[in-house]
């Protein structure tokens, strides 16, 4: 079963614009992670935000987390054509064995040159 649900399912923007993707989840989490996937190949870890953090930055990436609303957002600033990919949020549940990373269905981002 998928816990995270990304919104929108697809996003098309022009190079230089900002891209915002949202993720909602259902259960309590230990941390939330964002991954990028190019052309159906392996996933690349982008950023991890812990449940006690509200915002995190990494280069052109900004992630926010609202545990009260069980939601997160990923902002990519000054997008480039190379940012074209699918983006997934993934959650680790709190408590128990933190071994299962649960992914959403992803947002397909297209950055047009």
Partner 1 sequence: ETGVTQSPTHLIKTRGQQVTLRCSSQSGHNTVSWYQQALGQGPQFIFQYYREEENGRGNFPPRFSGLQFPNYSSELNVNALELDDSALYLCASSRVGTIRGYTFGSGTRLTVV
Report the candidate in 56, 107, 58, 60 with the shortest Cα–Cα distance to residue 79.
Answer: 60
Residue with Cβ nearer partner 1 (50 or 80): 50
| Closest distance of CB 113 from partner 1, Å | 25
Residue with Cβ nearer partner 1 (59 or 113): 59
Position 97 contacts partner 1 (CB under 8 A): yes
Residue with Cβ nearer partner 1 (1 or 68): 1
> How far is C-alpha 47 from the geometric centre of its chain's CA atoms?
8
Token pair, residue 55, equals 């915002």
Report the candidate in 25, 18, 28, 23 with the shortest Cα–Cα distance to residue 7.
Answer: 23
| Closest distance of CB 17 from partner 1, Å | 25
Token pair, residue 27, equals 């259960």
Position 42 contacts partner 1 (CB under 8 A): yes
Angle CA 108–17–15, to nearest 5: 75
Position 33 contacts partner 1 (CB under 8 A): yes
Stretch that binds partner 1, among 14-22, 42-50, 58-66, 69-77 (CB under 8 A): 42-50
Angle CA 72–76–81, to nearest 5: 140
The site for partner 1 (CB under 8 A) is made up of 1-2, 4, 30-31, 33, 35, 40-48, 50, 88, 90, 97, 99-106
């Amino acid at each position: 079963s998928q816990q995270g649900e990304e919104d929108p399912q697809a996003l098309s923007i022009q190079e230089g614009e900002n891209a915002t993707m949202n993720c909602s989840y259902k259960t309590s989490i230990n941390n939330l992670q964002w991954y990028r996937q190019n052309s159906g190949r392996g996933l690349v870890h982008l950023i991890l935000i812990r449940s006690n953090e509200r915002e995190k930055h990494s280069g052109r990436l900004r992630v926010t987390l609202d545990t009260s609303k069980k939601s997160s957002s990923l902002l990519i600033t000054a997008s480039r054509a190379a940012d074209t990919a699918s983006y997934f949020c993934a959650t680790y549940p709190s408590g128990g064995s933190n071994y299962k990373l649960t992914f959403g269905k992803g947002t397909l981002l297209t950055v047009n040159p």
